[in-house]
Chain A
Amino acid sequence: MAPSDDDSDPKPLLPKLSRRAFFTGAGASALGATLVQTAAEAASTAAPAVHGPGPSTLTLTLNGRPVTVQADPGTTLAELLRNQLGMTGTKIGCDRGACSACTVWLDGEVAASCMTLAFDARGRKVTTIEGLAKGDELHPVQRAFVEHDAMQCGFCTPGMVMSCAALVERNPKCTLDDVKQAVSGHLCRCGTYPNVFKATLAAARSNGKGKGRS
């Protein structure tokens, strides 16, 4: 689950199109009726599936469990999690990638779920705040957030926790600057930043030591 800093091998977001499939697909629209027959034949074998506007099926791994749902292609991952899968721990604060309240892990890396289409999470591992603790055992960052009061109203907290936990997993020797960087996209209107810094550094220091029983 440890998120990696290595971004040299990004997961392709779209299925790769072969040169031939591209031309047959393009031909269907560009050349019109005379090629319909050929194009239709080609599409039935090689063209990518078309989604929408109605719902279609997608499968992803949510907090370790495979989930198959119906969603229309405009659905964001945040909407899918909250409105269809009952995972309301993930918040939506701005719905345009500016506040990071919606942060989840996608294949172990932090992602703004309001800026991710549900279909772009197909076949991927999604971890939400509900899936961070192992049963009753809180993640060290969760425990430290409680101990250091790194929350007030708590609405930004799930997103903050996801980013800070990712940092601690990735870099147990993180510094104050690293923490500031990790949460630099997160907005907290109550002003809990100083305690978020303290909690995350404490969690990094204690990582692996002690039990995180809630």
Chain B
Amino acid sequence: MQDVKDTSDTRGATTPADGQKTQEAGPAKPPPPNPGPARQQAMPYGIVGQRLEQVTRRVPVDEPPPLPENAKLKSIGKPVSRLDGIEKVTGRARYTFDVQLPGMLWGQRVLAPLPHARIKSIDTSAAERYPGVRAVHVMERLLSTAKLRDPKAEQGNRYPTVRYAGQPIAGVAADSPRAAEAAARLIKVEYEPLPHVTDLEEAMKENAPRVFPGPTEQPSTAGGGGAPPGLPQKGNVRGPDSKPLGMGPRGDVQRGFAESDVVIDVEYRTQVQTHVPMEPHGLVADWRDEGLTLYASTQYMGSVRDEAAEYFDLPKSKVRVICDYTGGGFGAKYGIGNFGLLAIHLSRKARAPVRMVLDRREEHVSGGNRPNSIQRLKLGAKKDGSLVAIQLKAWGSGGVAGGAGVGFCHSTLYECPNVQMEQYDVFTNAGPCAAFRAPGQVQGIFGLEQSIDELAERIGMDPLALRNKIDVSRTDDAVARAHERRVGAEKFGWSKRRPAGSDKGPIKRGVGFAQSQWLYLVHRNTGCEVRVLGDGSVEAFSGTQDIGTGTRTILAQVVAEELGLRPEDIGAHVGDSRYPPGPASGGSRVTSSLTPAARNAAYRCARDLASRLAPVFQASADDIVFADGKVMVKGKASSAMPFRDAVKKAGFNEIAHRAERRDDYEGYMAVTPEMGISRHGIGGVQFAEVAVDTETGIVKVERVLAVHDCGRPINPKLTESQIYGGVIQGVSYALYEERHLDAGSGHQLNANVDQYKIVGSRETPSIEVILLEQLGAQSSTDARGVAEPANVATAAAVANAFYNATGKRIRTLPMTPANVLAALRA
């Protein structure tokens, strides 16, 4: 992304209204990186296989020496099979869904049947008397929703106001699922119905029913989302936010449009998409006198621990979070959630562990979603393609939560002197949104990349050539994309692209291209401990979690590299909050944050071990090397001794070192208490080929080429898997997925996986992945993430291919037959 200077304005934090999570301030200007003693270090920089330069960085003295490119390494960069793969294919992997503790009770929620209501009374007596029931709890506060700035606006309400159909109201814990379900049905709730609104445009009207009686605030989760504090709110419309993700306006768009040769002024619409992790949200709470243990299906154990500590007034040291496996999250699994609140209350009351897991319907309704959008995007350019002005006005609804902004790429992806964004959150009586795999960016890129494509067509320029001209910020992601466009075009056969609408028959084929861009983020407080035990076995510990990306495997690979071992020789432990703090599995930041900390800790172990082995080998510690499972003196192959034997000779019980993830050597553009935000981004480009049946309106994506960068890939096999996933989710979003709410009742009509259509085996296109190895000289591993970038460009690439196939623009998602036929008629 481009280095935009005016990001120093931090938005003031607001006072928490009702004990809710404290509002995070916006990004702040960072202090200089890595205080303390440092050295000047020459490091490789650039795309491996292209031109690799040397740059000099200021590096903390105790950082390990820079790694060479992957081809010269033994473990890092190799397609190692997932170390927990056998657990997963044998059914032994234990998800939160599978946790069964002695004496565990089954939790059931009571959900609001109305989309907007005041609760007059709740009678739990019949439920409490039901056989097998051990505890009942009525919710006094509601999480995962925007908060009234002035809580007095609803003073006198004993219970949280119902603002969406399916909102949790109470919970029951019983000794069987049947008893819990039966008892939950016996809880009598008396409602005073209030007028409701579920449609985005209806909710924007001045006389629309108000979802909230006053202005609101919406903190973001660790996974992103949320909306900046202190924005004006009129009725259900909150905004404008003119600095999406802290990136502000510049220049004068009106003058820019006046100076433009070409102006493209169009509207895009995107739908609500739900996350649908195969393992629903869930938590097993075990409240005991000595402390609270939470088994959580989460993307960030830290957020589970911190919220539980906050809401139950416990020291963080008394809350332990365990997460062996998480069955997918995609941005929605942060914090304890309302189900978690209930589980903990019920466990405290019943003095027994309580399992509280959402069913599939609730997962759709209250588990989170990607907000919809209406985007008015106006683009002004010169005949030579140079952009003069970009103006975005966007509205979106995340239901009862804010965070529907889509404007980020508009000010950061392309060079343009005049940029203005206005984005609004519109509240509706619908379940809360949550961060979802590149929040906002998937929607924003869908519009922007189509308009850029349209501009190319209007000025008679190849879409890739136009990007070559305007994607010139000289950040790492822009450098990567330039290369990716070249290699991708050649591999895909871009030069064979035909004029739009070339096919004569009813089935029309075409190809399209779009670019990806996402933030390169670092979780600042990331540590890792590595232990070498006296028998030569090695373990690594990080309090992060694996949501399916292969975190254990890359952790083991990095440690193995330093000690000359195989990844399978390393016990890689994650999923326990008692380990050193690990990164959130969100914002594509686990690999960028964890691997440098792991390498630093392993490096310290290796140097410590070398000094202990020096007498054994009668050599200087600096000359002791670890390679191929052996220890030897540099240059003396005859001295080689198996690692385990050498360690035993050293005669110690255990060496343990903990190390931290240092700041990026170049520092950050902005920081929050948790995150460092680089001025560089992560790139990627995708090419798509589609077939459109113009009679039925059915679109099929036949082929996708995804060319991506993620710094140094630690494990190309796992990286490729994530890119497949990003593309497939992108196709699913582009063609099928859409939450349907019934305007009259406020209920979701397709809260299941048969009517909420997701890509299956038959709709999976043929996907080819090209992966760059790009060294940015920023950390001891130079790794970055890929999960979100892989999902950003797909819908836009498919839409541009649709145009190339049919000669018509499709500006409304998803590309269902109805939307397709409407677009073809336009």
Contact = CB atoms under 8 A, between A and B. Distances in A.
A199 to B, nearest CB: 10
Interface string B657-694: 00000000000000000000000000000000000000
Contacts of B276: 187, 189
Size bracket, chain B contacts = 35 or more
Interface residues of A, number: 58
B721 A192 contact: yes
30 contacts: A74-B178, A83-B100, A88-B97, A91-B97, A91-B278, A93-B360, A94-B754, A98-B753, A129-B90, A142-B90, A146-B82, A149-B82, A149-B721, A151-B82, A151-B88, A152-B550, A153-B277, A153-B325, A153-B326, A157-B89, A180-B761, A180-B764, A181-B761, A186-B760, A186-B761, A187-B278, A189-B275, A189-B729, A189-B758, A214-B86
A102 to B, nearest CB: 11
A101 B98 CA distance: 14
B725 A184 contact: no
A98 B754 contact: yes
A89 B753 contact: no
A190 B89 contact: no
Given A94-B360, A145-B85, A149-B85, A155 B328 contact: yes
B354 to A, nearest CB: 15
A196 interface: yes
Interface in A69-91: 72, 74, 79, 82-83, 86-91
A193 interface: yes
Given A152-B725, A153-B328, A154-B327, A183 B761 contact: yes
Interface in B247-278: 275-278
Contacts of A72: 178
B727 A191 contact: yes
A191 B548 contact: no
Contacts, number: 174
B178 A149 contact: no
Given A88-B91, A158-B89, 9 more contacts: A89-B90, A98-B753, A99-B753, A130-B92, A146-B86, A152-B722, A184-B760, A188-B278, A191-B759
A130 B91 contact: yes
B383 interface: no
Contact of A152 (B177, B178, B548): B548
Given A191-B727, A193-B764, A88 B94 contact: yes
B415 interface: no
B762 A184 contact: yes
B762 to A, nearest CB: 5
B595 interface: no
- Of B94, B759, B761, most buried by chain A (CB within 10 Å of CB) is B761
B93 interface: yes
B753 A187 contact: yes
Given A130-B90, A154-B93, A192-B721, A93 B359 contact: no
A42 interface: no
Given A95-B359, A138-B86, A146-B85, A153 B724 contact: no
Contacts of B23: none
A121 interface: no
Contacts of A192: 721, 724-725
Contacts of A92: 97
Nearest to A151: B88
B187 interface: no
Contacts of B421: none
A129 B86 CA distance: 12
Contact of B89 (A90, A95, A146, A180): A146
A137 B332 CA distance: 37
A186 B761 CA distance: 8
Nearest to B790: A191
A138 B764 contact: no
Contacts of A79: 177
Contacts of B360: 93-96
A133 interface: yes
A128 interface: yes
Contacts of B726: 191
Interface in A96-133: 96, 98-99, 101, 128-130, 132-133
